[in-house]
Amino acid sequence: MMLSVYHHLLHPKGQQYVSFKRTESINIIMRNPMIRKTMLTEFFVMNQTNEDAQQLNLLYKEFPQYFVRHTTEGERYYLRLLLMNLRGPKSYEGLRMVNGIYCIAFRESAEKKGLLNSDNILVDCMIDVVKIWNHLKNVHLSENMRAKANSAFSEYLMRIGDGKLKLNSDDKNNPYKIFNITYPNINSLFHDSYSLASHVILTTKNDYVHEINDMLLSKFPNTARSFIGIEEIVEPNDQSLFKDYLHTLNPANLPPYKFTLNQNFPVMLLRNLNPSEGLCNVT
């Protein structure tokens, strides 16, 4: 099986390959301006004329990470969006299949896979909520019971977060060692979500949180499921220029672009999602 892969073209000046039909005359071929344009020459042009390219100061191999298909290109843009987020697609038809339903366009498929903003979910949600709106009542929290119950532990966590807690000189920065000590019997724990939630690895910052989570997920026998976030910038016209770059950022207090879960995998909430069902902050 032959794979279609576009390499970064490399050629001396004026020595690029030119494709033409046998029936075309040499004069017509030479008058065609496209024969002088290649990936490499257009890379030079962008660095000369485009302010974003000049500011990023990219290597040749880094260029496709920041300059991609524009949203105005329609289906080609949505095709690229699907290919950037779906692993192992086998056909165009497979890209349009969502839960056994065939979508008529790549845009529809991207929306149903959660890769594009769509108002349909919000509309359906508001239709359900409006029925109980008159029965809702605001209840304000007047006292933080968690901090009151264990002020010493809260102060200890603050010292860790501020980096004021001294480390043992014998300790080593070995995440695998910490993981094995915290979860010595991981194979017997993943069936019991309560026992698994009673073990936790604390970090002073979020730098290593994703690495630790990935280590734990890799030990689970079930297939993990990933949820992809949707990000937008202030200027819609520049959306396609910086979208891939936004996916690499994971700012504090915001959910990551890619959120992976597994069955019985513990999740700690940072917001009160549904207090009546017990889905409260730090539960």
List, for the chain, all residue ranges whose pLDDT scores fall below the cut of 70: 1-9, 68-73, 117-122, 143-149, 167-173, 189-190, 193, 206, 235-244, 252-253, 282-283
Specify the pLDDT at position 223: 76
State what percent of residues in the chain have pLDDT above 70: 79
Integer-rounded Cα Rg, in Å, for the chain is: 26
Instruction: Tell which residue, 205, 204, 200, 215, has the closest CA to residue 250.
Output: 205
pLDDT of residue 1: 40
The token pair at 212 is 């630790």
Which residues are within 8 A (CB) of 256 and not within 5 positions of it... i.e. 6 or more apart? 210, 229, 250
pLDDT value for 98:
87
Residue 273 CA to residue 158 CA, distance in Å, equals: 25
What distance lies between CA 241 and its chain's CA centroid?
16
pLDDT of amino acid 90: 79
What pLDDT is stored for residue 278 in this prediction? 79
Structure tokens at 82: 């699907």
- The token pair at 76 is 């080609």
HSE-CB at 280 with a 13 A cutoff on CA atoms is 8
